[in-house]
Amino acid sequence: MRLQNKIAIVTGAASGFGAEIARTFVTEGARVVIADINESAARDLASELGDLAMGLKCDVSSATEVSELVSQTCTLFGDPDIIVNNAGITHKNGPMLDVDEDTFDWIFNVNVKAIFHMSKAVIPIMRRRRSGVILNVGSVAGIRPRPGLTWYNASKGAVNVLSKSMAAELGPDNIRVNAICPVLGVTGLLEAFMGAPDTPENRARFLATIPLGRLAEGRDVANAALFLASDEADFITGLEMPVDGGRSV
């Protein structure tokens, strides 16, 4: 029970990496708020996980909804110890000039500005308590970008760098901040990332770029999050942790 009695908020947690993080945190004793724009899916997962989980609707691009999420968490579970900013979106893999302005704004609102909103809502609470862990899910795309996802890469590069800056600024408050940087995984965004149908041939071309020869799985990201959220990592902050099978080498 490495997170016994901890309270966590995981955004984008109704599916994909976020859902596996939520499952792992509950297994390790944390009370977890599963926050997602898909309220019914969030509540379904919370029901599956039992009394230690609660599903709440939240559009992370909205300052009002993020503030309300944190307020509800404090009321129903208590002050959050751990925040996992996992919610994310991408544009379809393709030429950078094919992405329109609305899509660009949407990507940065969900991937980057959401962390701004969450920071405004939760850091004052953590500062009062002089403790807290913030995990931002960046991407290997922000470390070793490749053509086709230029604006997504830029958003995740921002996440990776702001995590380091947050760590430097919040360290004196005993608030740790780290970035987890996965490679492509089998999630609902797989085909958008690939820019092609998920056929064995297309997947094989991508797998050839990963030394360990497979895509990221939910357990890979969840295990990284568990370690960084636990007291075992209490002297680790400002880390940009690739979870990528060697893709960024």
Residue 193 pLDDT exceeds 90: no
Residue 42 is encoded by which pair of tokens? Answer: 């969030």
Residue 54 pLDDT exceeds 80: yes
166: helix, coil or strand?
helix
Q: How far apart are CA 154 and CA 167, in angstroms?
A: 20
Average pLDDT, the chain: 96
Write out pLDDT tens, residues 230-244: 999 999 999 999 999
The per-residue pLDDT for 195 is 81
Element of type H or E holding 85: strand 82-85
% of the chain with per-residue pLDDT over 90:
90
pTM of the model: 0.96
Write out pLDDT tens, residues 115-138: 999 999 999 999 999 999 999 999
152 annotated active-site: yes
The per-residue pLDDT for 181 is 98
Average pLDDT over residues 149-171: 98
From edge to edge, which strands make up the β-sheet containing 53-57? 53-57, 31-36, 7-11, 82-85, 132-137, 175-182, 240-243
Write out pLDDT tens, residues 67-88: 999 999 999 999 999 999 999 9
* Residue 200 half-sphere exposure toward CB, CA atoms < 13 A: 0
Q: Which residue has the higher pLDDT, 183 or 189?
A: 183
Residue 125 is encoded by which pair of tokens? Answer: 């609470």
5: left (phi over 0), alpha (psi -120 to 50) or beta: left
Residue 188 pLDDT exceeds 90: no
Q: How far apart are CA 141 and CA 192, in angstroms?
A: 14
User: Exactly one of 25, 77, 108, 152 is catalytic; which is it?
Assistant: 152
Q: Which residue has the higher pLDDT, 181 or 202?
A: 181
Q: Band the pLDDT of 187: cuts 50, 70, 90.
A: confident
Residue 2 pLDDT exceeds 80: yes
Q: Band the pLDDT of 62: cuts 50, 70, 90.
A: very high
Write down all domains in the chain, each with its CATH number in brackets: 7-188+216-242 (3.40.50.720)
Q: How far apart are CA 200 and CA 90, in angstroms?
A: 22
Q: How far apart are CA 249 and CA 244, in angstroms?
A: 9
The per-residue pLDDT for 142 is 96
Average pLDDT over residues 6-29: 98
